[in-house]
Structure 1
Amino acid sequence: MRVDLGNALETTPGITTETLDRLDERVAAAHDRIAAGMADDEFGYAALTLPETADPDRIHAAVDGFDRPEAVLTVGIGGSALGAATLATALESDVDAYVLDNVDPDDARALLDDLPLADTVVNVVSKSGTTAETLANFLVAREAMADAGVDWTDRTLVTTGESGNLRELADRHGLPSLPVPDGVPGRFSALSTVGLAVAALQGHDVEAVLAGGRDGMASLSGSLYESPAYAYGAATYALAERGARTNAVMPYAESLETFAEWFAQLWAESLGKDGLGQTPARALGATDQHSQLQLYRAGPPDKLVTLVRPTERADVPIPETDLDGLAYLGGSSLGGLLDAEFEATEASLAAADVPNVRVEIDRVDERSLGELLYGMEAACVLYGELASVSTFTQPAVEWGKKAARGLLGGGDFPEADAVTEKRELRVD
């Protein structure tokens, strides 16, 4: 992973090289804290050791009991699904991957009706084993399999903690299962059993993903000038402090669109504390040049745009044409056009005084993805250290979970009372 901060300098809002020089002393102290947390396997910091502690052999052993499936369905939500979905979407495979992460009844029914359930592995993921949305969707999927004459116990992989409903279910039925790593919040679990089981089922090189993560680990140092991850984390923090409260992440590769979703959870849930944080926005180049770029260039000066791209990719030539005004496209390629769009957008933002950062990987493959995911996690942790927020907790999310559970009769939670106290101003 490579990071270029040049277009974030002297912008509005913006930073200077002097800003970064001053901040580098704080980065060194933050790195010492992060390194100590990693060494002591502290909660949250343990996520940054996953490239070394994850056990690919255990993952392979769990999935080897399944014949090569036609499809994999991950039943999870948030961090229990987005890491796996990012890898599955980015990497090509003849095993289709789907995610059931919302409890929209129309979507759930349509998806289950279309899946070849007899040749689908259901990968159900919940650390607690009690996540309401995940367990509800799993019960619906299990019933759909039974209705289709499929023995769900032959087609289910469980990834969960040491106790809870899912662990009891796996033990009772002898289901293949994987442990969720201790001390790792879900949104930081992409490089663990949580994110890698689907990759293994699809036939991807899990070891290469972890090797990319180790590349990211090796690049961490006490200076932002020597670590791409820390350069990104420090710059985004400094820009947010100066008013860039929105971070629009814009990959220039269709295969990285789900990566932007993964990033949005990582950034929002980790850093949105105590009135601080940076709101992640998701965009896709070049598509959203035609829908969002107008706002980024000419709207409120409160945004950073993060442009992400692979520098190598397969290409498709553009045929020659004799149409007036289009001849310049002939002899070029779709990849060449996309690169030109990338650089034009970058330049247009700079010309409008909008800070933007370039993040590049070599190509969209297992190793580069592992490094990218790790790098963004490390950047997030560094940002949290610099902002003095509790990066690895999510109290606002827990409040909503308790309210919903109380409404459904799952316990006596005072948070549910707030629902009945809703203020109304209705217009019918």
Structure 2
Amino acid sequence: MNIDIGNALLDDATPGLRTDRLETLDEQVADAHERIADGRARDEFGYAALNLPETTDPDGIREACGDFEDSEAVLTVGIGGSALGAATITEAIGDGTAHYVLDNVDPAQTESVLAALDFTETAVHVVSRSGTTAETLSNFLLVREAMADDGVDWTERTIVTTGDSGPLRSLAETHNLPVLEVPAGVPGRFSALSTVGLVPAVITGCDIEALLAGGKSGAESLSPSLFDCPAYAYGAVAYALDQQGAGANVMMPYAEGLEAFAEWFAQLWAESLGKAGMGQTPVRALGATDQHSQLQLYRAGPRDKMVTLLRPARREPLTIPETDIEALEYLGGTDLGEVLDAEFEATEASLAEAGCPNVRIEFDRLDAHSLGRLLYDMEAACILAGELYGVDTFTQPAVEWGKRAARGLLGAKETEEAQAVTNKRTRRIE
């Protein structure tokens, strides 16, 4: 994987970075790398995520999934980091086995997903570290009811990933379900290359060994200098551009299979770095589609954004047929991937010409190894950025406040947060 930061430098972008600023930034990266390396060596909370390519046991995951590998579909029941990593992997490199996700509690969507599934041929993966996540457990209770309606013994089609205690763990032990451990010391949004993200990957035919090998190559590339480390270069430049006014980071992959990746990145970046009045706002986009819906704003709107353009260097060929329509003759015989690459390069040039800072990320092809490397590098970039911001990258206190408020409102127990919601000021206009 490589990163090109040329269009983020001051001569070409506003906001942008001065070349001499990179040298100072590199010194900060060296200090941050030392803290990260120490955290990894101690397997400290959060930093342990960067050890997953070595500590994740693919054989154990395959063994736990053994009874489900012939399933026609897999349903992940989780939320946030318990679902986004898995969805990213299967969407990008799955073999076509359908992967459904229940990661929200919208009744219409839940009913629609349940109605689409034949539970006699579906594996259900339930993910919650605590085993108490209200959204996840609510959906799982509905899934169990739907399985019963299909005449399916839910205990024969369910696999659980959870912590070492809690209601979900107790349920798994009571019913002798296959159960995997959520990795200790790894926040959910950093857990894609673990049991959390790899169960659906196995069931949908992904090469999880290659995914982990890609992650390992990312770990081996970490070094004290941003000039030698693509992950650190990305994290450092994103941080520095934010300091210059680029408070939004548009993640724009040019590969349909990476649309879920942009959603995964949004959680990683927002939940990790949005603290103490700091952090970039991640924006999800998809090339070339969003050239027609968002590029106008990025090029001609407020100068408060950096754009991350992401693509594989090689794609599967698909030739456009020849045509006798004179105005379209230039397309005939062209590979469709060439059209997408032309769109990519036109967008990059358009942004650069307008002085909008952008960064190019490229990898060889969209396969398991490259995806593992991409996921790992973005996690390392995020952790590096967190060190530069000086925030606690691995906590999410604002999210936890909302969880406590919701539980209180639902009657689990009275909470101060729920009372605050009850007492909130309103000014309703009808």
Same fold (TM over 0.5): yes
Q: Identify the match of residue 209 of structure 2 among 207, 210, 219.
A: 207
Q: Identify the match of residue 281 of structure 2 among 279, 282, 301.
A: 279
Does 2:147 match 1:145?
A: yes
Which consecutive unaligned segments of at least 5 residues does structure 1 have? Answer: none
Q: Could you tell me which residue of structure 2 aligns to residue 364 of structure 1?
A: 366
**Does the CA-based 8 Å contact 2:69-2:202 persist in structure 1?**
no
Q: Identify the match of residue 217 of structure 1 among 213, 216, 219.
A: 219
Q: Which runs of 4+ in 1 moved over 3 A?
A: none
Does 2:43 match 1:6?
A: no
Q: Look up the SS of the partner of 1:99 in the other structure.
A: strand
Which consecutive unaligned segments of at least 5 residues does structure 2 have? Answer: none
Q: Distance in 2 between matches of 1:253 and 1:240?
A: 26
- Greater shift in the superposed pair: 238-247 or 409-418: 409-418
Q: Distance in 2 between matches of 1:304 and 1:418?
A: 36
Report the TM-score when normalising by structure 2. 0.99
Residues 368-420 of structure 1: per-residue CA shift (max 9 Å, x gap): 00000000000000000001011000000000000000000111211001212
| Cα distance, 1:425 vs structure 2 | 2.1
Q: Look up the SS of the partner of 2:67 in the other structure.
A: coil
Q: Identify the match of residue 117 of structure 2 among 115, 122, 137.
A: 115
| Residue type of the alignment partner of 1:418 | A
| Cα distance, 1:137 vs structure 2 | 0.4
| Residue type of the alignment partner of 2:194 | S
**Does the CA-based 8 Å contact 2:53-2:216 persist in structure 1?**
yes
| Residue type of the alignment partner of 1:2 | N
Residues 278-313 of structure 1: per-residue CA shift (max 9 Å, x gap): 000000000000000000001100000000000111
Q: Look up the SS of the partner of 1:124 in the other structure.
A: strand
Residues 191-245 of structure 1: per-residue CA shift (max 9 Å, x gap): 0000111111112111100000000001000000000000000000000000000
**Does the CA-based 8 Å contact 2:252-2:284 persist in structure 1?**
yes
Q: Could you tell me which residue of structure 1 aligns to residue 254 of structure 2?
A: 252
Q: Look up the SS of the partner of 1:122 in the other structure.
A: strand
Q: Could you tell me which residue of structure 2 aligns to residue 63 of structure 1?
A: 65
Q: Look up the SS of the partner of 2:138 in the other structure.
A: helix
Residues 27-62 of structure 1: per-residue CA shift (max 9 Å, x gap): 001000000000000000000000001111110110
Aligned identity (percent) is 67
1:28-427 → structure 2 map (5 Å cutoff):
28-427=30-429
Q: Distance in 2 between matches of 1:361 and 1:135?
A: 38
Q: Could you tell me which residue of structure 1 aligns to residue 24 of structure 2?
A: 22
Q: Distance in 2 between matches of 1:278 and 1:374?
A: 20
| Cα distance, 1:67 vs structure 2 | 4.9
Q: Look up the SS of the partner of 2:360 in the other structure.
A: strand
How well do the aligned residues superpose, as a CA RMSD in angstroms? 0.8
**Does the CA-based 8 Å contact 2:33-2:224 persist in structure 1?**
yes
**Does the CA-based 8 Å contact 1:70-1:94 persist in structure 2?**
no
Q: Distance in 2 between matches of 1:426 and 1:193?
A: 46
**Does the CA-based 8 Å contact 2:94-2:205 persist in structure 1?**
no
- Greater shift in the superposed pair: 242-251 or 200-209: 200-209
Q: Distance in 2 between matches of 1:118 and 1:422?
A: 47
| Cα distance, 1:422 vs structure 2 | 2.4
Q: Distance in 2 between matches of 1:67 and 1:101?
A: 22
